[in-house]
Amino acid sequence: MNNFLSFQIHGDADHGGGIAESVASLLAFFEGTVTHGSGGFFSAIMPGLTSMDNIHPLLVHFPIAFLLAFFALDVVGTLLKNPQWRSVASWLLYLGTIAAVFTVTAGFLAANTVAHGENIHAIMERHEYIGISVLTLATVLSLWRIKSGGLIQGGANALFIILAALLCVLLSLGADLGGLMVYKYGVAVEVVIVPDNHHEHSSHEHPTHSCSDPFKFQRRFIA
């Protein structure tokens, strides 16, 4: 059913039917969702989510986005002496802290369910420690902000911004380790076997790479 979502974005180089074939595919998609019921509809709309073993990779983007945006806006608001911008930054901090609670919780659940070897365990533990540090520091900054009434002034604000910068550094380090586990070691990534005669883009797009083997694997197995 996921193929029904493959709308013709490459043009006639890939599909000769043009708009008519696109409309037909769209109608077939809706027909398929009706046939398979609500469960099939959800899996067709969000195939990535339904194929996940855990939701940690989905949640992790929210604290990163909220907390980095909080830091940037708070620094600019401080430099420009704009209390409205700093007030918005406060809410971004609160949302980022709440998102971090769910993300760290999901991360612990994922660590207990995702198969990994000894070569990954040390990386995963560092990733967990950094996640806990991010959550702790974000909570402290949120409580400090709330207790101060939303705005911190003077030397206390300088210390606050330094801690917020440290928070962003920890976020970056944690994200780097997460990417290392996924993109280098393939943690929680299923094996996908791609035939050698897979889909080819037109000549004006990326060049086609040939492979001497009939199949290529898109994941490294973890020892």
pLDDT, tens only, 41-66: 666 676 766 666 677 888 899 999 99
Tell me the per-residue pLDDT of 165-182, one tens digit each, with 9 for 90 and over.
999 999 999 999 888 887
* Of 210 and 101, the one with more pLDDT: 101
> Which residues have CB under 8 Å from 67's CB, separation 6+?
92, 93, 96, 97, 100, 134, 138, 167, 168, 171
Output the CA torsion sign for 141, 146, 150, 154.
negative
Q: What is the pLDDT of residue 58?
A: 83
The neighbour count for residue 58, using CB atoms within 10 Å, is: 14
Q: What is the mean pLDDT of residues 146-161?
A: 91
> Whose CA is closest to 51, among 175, 174, 191, 180?
191
DSSP state of 8: -
- In the structure encoding, which two tokens stand for residue 106, read together? 């999901």
Give which of 40, 56, 6, 9 is closest to 26, Cα–Cα. 6
- Per DSSP, helices labelled H in 114-196 are 118-147, 154-179
φ/ψ of residue 189, rounded to 5:
-105, 125
**Higher-pLDDT residue of 12, 155:** 155
Give the model confidence (pLDDT) of 122-149 as tens digits: 888 898 999 999 999 999 999 999 999 8
What sign has the CA pseudo-torsion 12, 14, 17, 23?
Answer: negative
How far apart CA 124 and CA 140 sit, in angstroms, is: 24
Does residue 76 register a pLDDT over 70?
Answer: yes
Average pLDDT, the chain: 76
What sections of the chain are H helices per DSSP?
18-45, 47-50, 56-59, 61-79, 83-113, 118-147, 154-179
Q: Which of the pair, 111 or 161, is modelled with greater confidence?
A: 161
Residue type, 161: I
Closest by CA to 86, choosing from 69, 102, 103, is 69
The confidence score (pLDDT) of residue 122 equals 81
Taking residues 70-97, what's their average pLDDT?
96
Name the amino acid, one letter, at 25. S
pLDDT score of 64: 96
User: Would you place residue 24 in the very low, low, confident or very high pLDDT band (cuts 50, 70, 90)?
Assistant: low
Q: State yes or no: pLDDT of 219 exceeds 50.
A: no
| Mean pLDDT, range 104-117, rounded to an integer | 77
Q: What is the pLDDT of residue 142?
A: 97
Least confident of 20-24, 67-71, 147-151, 167-171: 20-24
- The predicted model gives 142-162 an average pLDDT of 92
For the ranges 23-27, 111-115, 201-205, the one whose mean pLDDT is highest? 111-115
